[in-house]
Structure 1
Amino acid sequence: MHPATPLHWYCSVCVKVVGSVPGHTFLLIVLMLVSQLSLLSAFFLPIKAIILMGSPFIPDYFPAALASLGRKTLFTYLSIAAIFLYLTHLLAENKIKSFTERGAQQLIVNCANMIPFEDQENLTTRTFSRLTRSLANTLFITAALMVLGIMYKGLFFALLGICALAGSVYIFVRPAPTTEVLEIPNTVASLGFLAAFGFIFYDLLNTTSSNIIAALIGLMLARQIMQRAAILIQDTHSLMTQHVKISNLLFNMPFLATSDNSPDILWTLLKPDVRHSLIGNAISEITGASYNVIDAKWHQIGIHDIAAFEVTARHTATAQKHRFLIKIFNSKRKNLAISEAMLLANTQHTNLPTLPFLGASAIENFNCHVFEWTSLEKCDPLYIKHPMHSVFKDMMRTLPAANLTELFLNSQPLLWDRLTPHNLSAFELAIDTTHYADILQAFIAARADIVSHLKKVPLQIANFDIHKDHLLSDPQGKLYVSHWGLWSLEPVGAGWPTSKKELQQLHGIFHDLQLNRDDTRHLSFQLFTLSVLLSALDRLVAKQHFISAAKLLPPIMAAYAQETAPQQQESRI
């Protein structure tokens, strides 16, 4: 039976894990405590050694047996002990990793009734590691507080007060859902250590009977207590956020669709009672004019975590109605938003079939893009082939702006950078077992020269992520693409289909291209064909569709042979 409260659930998990793998759990807790204590001692002993060498005599807190060794000998022993303890810490950390993996495997074996699911082994390892680390940190914090309670009662009560204050603040000032909750414990721990240091500083200045060594040990323990408390909170939070999977892992509980009640912030913001206001503010910010949203109708983009609305808004000054398309990207899609905005901001007044882009803004930290919208309709998905061909031709005709090319080259590889022996190694391994092995070896042997020819091909803007929901047309038949999150720069011809029928259309496309782009007039038809085929090969290899990619090798080698034939004839002459 699933525990009713988080505390009960957490205790049940601890009991289950300890009961399933008691030996590994106990050994890991011991190793973690050894690691923490040896690291703490390794930092403390050098301080004592430096104090020793800075004093004219051996301080009284050293036992007589050690004091009799002399300052230099004692300093040497302390330094060697610090090195030994640090090596002990490293060895313990190494063993912790090894025993965590073994314990997780044993946990899987002992919980034989669990329902298998994706990423099960990694989840088991993370759960076991965090749980044992939480138990070790709890023991360490308890022991450290007991030490402080004996040797430095003032700091002990000060730390309890700091923890009580931090808990009270958290209760009364709940962090916003968009706040990175895992960063809060680190911040609070740093502030808590600063407060503890302030208390020690005040105590040393105002108390004549203060013990410097106790203050020094107290300061180091305060730092460790705060740091371990932050890690404990983070580990506990991570376990709680995955309680459904962990329950399935340990208690054979089924996954419950309603078990995660945490709302998605984006969809909360787009509820009807606040949607119009937020969208209107975004449009007003981008256009520089004030608009009131009259209607916002859902527009299907067909990509997870991207919301889009066809918006009708009234200009507050002129009372005229205007229409917009607004796209709002969830935080996980931020990279797509940045990529699309970078392209659209640098492709105004080109052949690229994009919607008129008005600008980019943010709705409560979510990226949003605003476009002009007219009477556009989605293309019929049953007759999408011809519109796709037209869009591919438009992209070929578009010469990328120089600044856009520079931005892309600073972050992404081009096709000839991707056709490397390393990237082709899996392709070679698979095709060596087929009847395409000989022609593949010929391609591998000529790869460097093929790439050198490919580099002569000008670039175009390509979008290989066009779906049926992205293709739009106006009443005059002009086509638009509504999503450009995964655009790239590719050699001209990239993206054109490579079926026999569609390859027969390349002559007409090549002629049209040379009429519309001056930088393609030096190209031969063979080199253009090679660009089309190599782009298709690259995409198929990336998807590990190796047989389909191998079927392109004969036309690739034929185009390459025709391209290099004039050079070979000249070399013979």
Structure 2
Amino acid sequence: MMKLQKNIKSTLGWFYSLGRKFYEVTPAATLTVLTANLFAQILLVLTFFLPIKVLILLGSDTVPKYYPLYLKSLQKAHLIVGLSLLALMCYLLYLGCEFIIAHHSRKGAQKLLKNSGKLALFENQHQLASQAYARFTRGLSAGTFAAASLAILLYIYPLLFSATLTYCALAYIGLVSLYNKSPKARRLLEHHHATTLNAMCSMGFLFVFACMIIDFLYLSPPKIFPALISLLLIRQGMSRLNILLQDIIALRSQHRQINALFFHNQQLIVDNGTYAEKITELLNKAQRDQWVAAAIKSVTSADLQLVSTQWHQIGRTDIYSFEAEFTSAQSPNIEKYLFKLFGEHSKSLAEQEYTLLKNTPHIPAPQFLGRAGIQNLTCHVFNFNNYRKLAHREIGTGVISINQRLLCIEPSESLVKRFSRSHQYLEQRLSRKIIENLHIISSQEQVADIERFSEQYDFLISVLADLPRQIISLDTTSDTLLIAVDGTTHVSHWASWKMEPLGSNWPVGEHATLRLGIETARQERKSLVDVPAAAVLLCAFTYAFERLCHRSNFSDAVALLPNMLEQLEHLKTPRNEQEQ
């Protein structure tokens, strides 16, 4: 783990290199944006400061004594109007400066990109370049403003200048010490640096304000007007220092893209499958054995001794899965468990899987024992006795088996409500705009089917909306399919489940199997007794149709229209309803 002071040193060096590059390539734009930023900050301070002075004048009988002589000679009403107009003028000038900043930031970024002479690296690179350029100049002007505030403070109130430097030094030493010595504090600072900086700048202002109060009560303070100006400078200076630090952090978090955009000898570095330092440490055998043993103890009371662990492939980014073997004093047999560790960027997936497993006990998955916390990460633990992965020739049958079992599971009412509050169903995603897109790519022979589909659109939506809901799995792959010793098929990963109308996600080429699955499901779900098979088949075709349209595969989507229209006609035929 790199020490915080080394991180700060390298970041400041990189920030300096970035500024030198900007100035060398676009000196005029850089100076213009920097100057406009500085003036904008000064004008914004005046915009908020002048109305306070107006309020003070409105509340006093005469012009206060601390006003300069040339202002005291004016009438009070004239002075109020003048200060109000000056505040309005400052705000209008501030808006003008913001316009100049936006315009010249775009020009500067475009010139920098042109100077780098590179191919297009990623989407929205011009927008990112403009934002980086504007953020850099804003941060630099904020730092300049803070430095100027300190210089003025040194001249008009040296005691507060010393108090400000003292607080900054103590805050730096305290942060570095906490970051380097406490892992918990390190994680807190890494995940909540904006909140921490805001709090520390506010505390700095309060610290300096307390020093001023002590000076006025027990020492030899200056006059009230310099003290008021000093207090304003400290508040604004701390605020601008906060802006500078947060802009530097934000730019540093995108340093790979920024380096690739602006520096000739820097290529775009992409994720090559290596793990973050924290994950690498956790996956090393020594630490892995420790957290696996801790996780099993948190979910079971059995006295188990770890024998071995091995990687379990599930093929999902930022999710790390291991099979572990244990022995116990109560049984001579080896017991196997599956551990899935969700990384920093997969916490929502961990919560999604946990929600499903806790609310749907009959889901085709290994027995879920519980979840454990591992260094602020989530680990799910499953019983993994007597499982193996499917052979390649078994995968097709396994997928059908999982879909058949999902047809038979009645989702809990609470889970259906939670999902409907969070996501759209198929009938809500299928809009008439899709039909308009089909007209664009259709041939003369396909126009008739598209027109018939358009005419029956409302009926289709009503059929889908009336169908019972079912759970579908988007994680059914060769890596996640398992078969138990009794021949039943399970899925080892359920983080990407969805709720859809009955028949969704069924292979469109398996009509006969779907019909058999419906008959089986009717025996287990009372809600399916009166559901026509044609409606479920229609949903299967419509789900495939919607997914093809989403991928802009309109030719294959149009090819499904005859099947969909056929099922719609069946649903409108009374004889068909009687047969069902």
CA contact (8 A) 2:435 2:454 kept: no
Residue aligning to 1:278: 291
1:384 partnered with 2:395: yes
Matched, 1:178 2:190: no
Matched, 1:294 2:326: no
Deviation at 1:315, TM superposition (A): 4.7
Give CA deviations for 1:124-161 in whole Å, capped at 9, x if unaligned.
22331222122212221121111111222111111111
Q: Is the 8 A contact 2:439 2:447 kept in 1?
A: no
Q: Secondary structure at the match of 2:456?
A: helix
CA deviation vs aligned residue, 1:58-88 (integer Å, no higher than 9, x gap)? 1233333433332222122222322332333
Change in Cα spacing, 1:311 to 1:430, as seen in structure 2 (3 Å) is: farther
CA distance in structure 2 between the aligned counterparts of 1:136 and 1:262, rounded to whole angstroms? 37
Q: Give the letter aligned to residue 325 of structure 1.
A: L
State the Cα deviation string for residues 205-242 of structure 1 (Å, max 9, x = none): 33464322222222222122222212212222333344
CA–CA distance in structure 2, aligned partners of residues 180 and 39 of structure 1? 30
Q: Which AA in structure 2 matches 1:493?
A: G
In the alignment, the residues of structure 1 paired with residue 36 and residue 575 of structure 2 have an alpha-carbon distance, to the nearest angstrom, of 70
SS of aligned partner of 2:144 = helix
- For the residue of structure 2 that corresponds to 1:361, the secondary structure is strand
CA contact (8 A) 2:407 2:517 kept: no
Q: Please, which of 202, 218, 227 is the counterpart of residue 215 of structure 1?
A: 227
Q: Give 1:246 shift.
A: 3.2
Q: How far apart, in 2, do the equivalents of 1:262 and 1:436 lie?
A: 50
Q: Aligned in 2, Cα 1:494/1:315: closer, same or farther, shift over 3 Å?
A: same
In the alignment, residue 491 of structure 1 is paired with which amino acid? P
Moved more, 269-278 or 61-70: 61-70
Q: Is the 8 A contact 1:189 1:230 kept in 2?
A: yes
Who is 2:133 aligned against?
A: 128
Distance 1:506 1:317 in 2: 45
Aligned CA distance change for structure 1 residues 277 and 5 (closer, same or farther; 3 Å): closer
| 2:324 alignment counterpart | 311
SS in 2 for 1:179: helix
When residues 509 and 14 of structure 1 are mapped into structure 2, their CA distance, relative to the original with a 3 A threshold, is same
Q: Which runs of structure 2 are paired with 1:99-114 in the superposition (5 Å)? A: 99-112=104-117, 114=118
Once the 2 structures are TM-superposed, how far is the Cα of residue 369 of structure 1 from its aligned partner?
0.7
Secondary structure of the residue aligned to 2:320 is strand
Structure 1 Cα separation of the partners of residues 332 and 514 of structure 2 = 51
The alpha carbon displacement at 1:463 in A equals 0.8
Q: Using the alignment, how far apart are the partners of 1:412 and 1:303 within structure 2?
A: 22
Q: What residue identity is the alignment partner of 1:339?
A: Q
2:556 to 548, 551, 555: 548
1:520 and 2:528 equivalent?
Answer: yes
Where does structure 2 lack aligned partners over 5 or more consecutive residues? Answer: 1-8
1:195 and 2:207 are equivalent in the alignment: yes
Tell me how many residue pairs correspond in the alignment: 561
- Does the CA-based 8 Å contact 1:203-1:210 persist in structure 2? no
AA paired with 1:14? G
Of all paired residues, the percent bearing the same amino acid is 30
Q: Tell me the distance in 1 between the aligned counterparts of 2:189 and 2:351.
A: 21
Task: Give the equivalent residue in structure 2 for 1:536.
Answer: 544
Instruction: Provide the aligned C-alpha RMSD in A.
Output: 2.8
Structure 1 counterpart SS, 2:422 = coil
Q: Does structure 2 conserve the Cα–Cα contact (< 8 Å) formed by 1:301 and 1:469?
A: yes
1:331 to 344, 348, 357: 344
Cα distance, 1:440–1:102 mapped onto 2, change above 3 Å = farther
* Equivalent residue in structure 1 for 2:457, among 444, 447, 453: 447
Whether 1:404 and 2:415 are equivalent positions in the alignment is: yes
Asked whether the equivalents of residues 20 and 111 of structure 1 are also in contact (C-alpha less than 8 Å), the reply is no
Structure 1 residue 400 displacement after superposition: 0.5
Letter of the structure 2 residue corresponding to residue 228 of structure 1: R
1 CA distance for matches of 2:558 and 2:217?
80
In 1: Cα distance, 2:402 partner to 2:444 partner = 36
Of the structure 1 ranges 205-214 and 478-487, higher mean CA displacement relative to structure 2 is found in 205-214
- Counterpart of 1:232 in structure 2 is 244
The residue identity in structure 2 corresponding to 1:142 is A
Alpha-carbon distance in structure 2 between the residues aligned to 1:492 and 1:65: 83
Mapped pair 1:15 → 2:27: no
Q: Distance in 1 between matches of 2:541 and 2:437?
A: 16
Matched, 1:496 2:506: yes
Tell me the distance in 2 between the aligned counterparts of 1:432 and 1:329: 45
Q: CA deviation at 1:358?
A: 0.9
Structure 2 match to 1:364:
375
Which residue number corresponds to residue 159 of structure 2? 154
CA distance 1:516–1:158, shift in 2 (3 Å): same
Is residue 508 from structure 1 mapped to residue 511 from structure 2 by the alignment?
A: no
Deviation at 1:34, TM superposition (A): 1.7
Of residues 544-553 and 167-176 in structure 1, the stretch that sits farther from structure 2 once superposed is: 167-176
TM-score, normalised relative to structure 1:
0.90
The alignment partner of 1:505 has SS state of helix
User: What is the SS of the residue equivalent to 2:323?
Assistant: strand
Q: C-alpha separation between the residues in 1 aligned to 2:54 and 2:561?
A: 71
Report the alpha carbon displacement of residue 302 of structure 1 after superposing the two structures with TM.
0.8
The alpha carbon displacement at 1:18 in A equals 1.0
Q: Say if 1:463 and 1:426 are closer, same or farther in 2 by CA, change over 3 A.
A: farther
Q: Give the conservation status (yes or no) of the 8 Å contact 1:266–1:366.
A: no
CA distance in 2, matches of 1:486, 1:259: 23
> What letter matches 2:374 in structure 1?
I
In the alignment, the residues of structure 2 paired with residue 534 and residue 264 of structure 1 have an alpha-carbon distance, to the nearest angstrom, of: 45
Residue type of the alignment partner of 1:178: R
Alignment check: 8 A CA contact 2:439 2:450 kept: no
Distance across 2 between alignment mates of 1:537 and 1:280: 47
| Structure 1: tracts of 5 or more residues without a match | none
1:430 is displaced (CA, Å) by: 4.2
Within 1, Cα distance between the matches of 2:229 and 2:435?
A: 57
Contact 2:335 2:385 in 1 (8 A): no
CA distance in 2, matches of 1:544, 1:92: 44
Instruction: Provide the TM-score with structure 2 as the length reference.
Output: 0.89
1:453–1:249 CA distance, 2 compared to 1 (3 A): closer
State the 1:5 CA deviation: 5.7
Q: Is the 8 A contact 2:163 2:211 kept in 1?
A: yes
| Contact 1:355 1:372 (8 Å CA) reproduced | yes
Deviations 1:406-441 (A, max 9, x none): 22122111111111235x377446435775344234
Amino acid at match of 1:459: R
Letter in 1 for 2:73: S
Residues 407, 518 of structure 2: 8 Å contact kept: no
Following superposition, the deviation at residue 318 of structure 1 comes to 7.9
In 2, the alpha carbon distance for the partners of 1:104 and 1:314 equals 63
Which aligned segments of 4 or more residues in structure 1 are displaced greater than 6 angstroms? 256-262, 316-320
Q: Give the C-alpha shift of residue 568 in structure 1.
A: 13
Contact 2:388–2:482 under 8 Å retained in 1:
yes
Shift of 1:321: 5.2
**Residues 68 and 445 of structure 1: is their aligned pair in 2 closer, same or farther, counting only changes over 3 Å?**
farther
Question: What amino acid sits opposite 1:273 in the alignment?
Answer: A
Q: Counterparts of 1:370 and 1:356 in 2: how far apart (Å)?
A: 9
Give the Å deviation of 1:52. Answer: 1.9
Decide whether aligned partners of structure 1 residues 473 and 110 sit closer, same or farther in structure 2, where only a CA change above 3 A counts.
same
Contact 1:294–1:314 (CA under 8 A) maintained in structure 2: yes
Separation (CA, whole Å) in 2 of partners of 1:192 and 1:533: 64
Query: Is the contact made by 1:244 and 1:259 (CA closer than 8 Å) also made in structure 2?
Result: no
Deviation at 1:172, TM superposition (A): 2.4
How far residue 317 of structure 1 moved from its aligned partner, in angstroms, is 8.3
Which residue of the partner structure matches residue 52 of structure 1? 57
Q: Quick one: which amino acid aligns to residue 467 of structure 1?
A: T
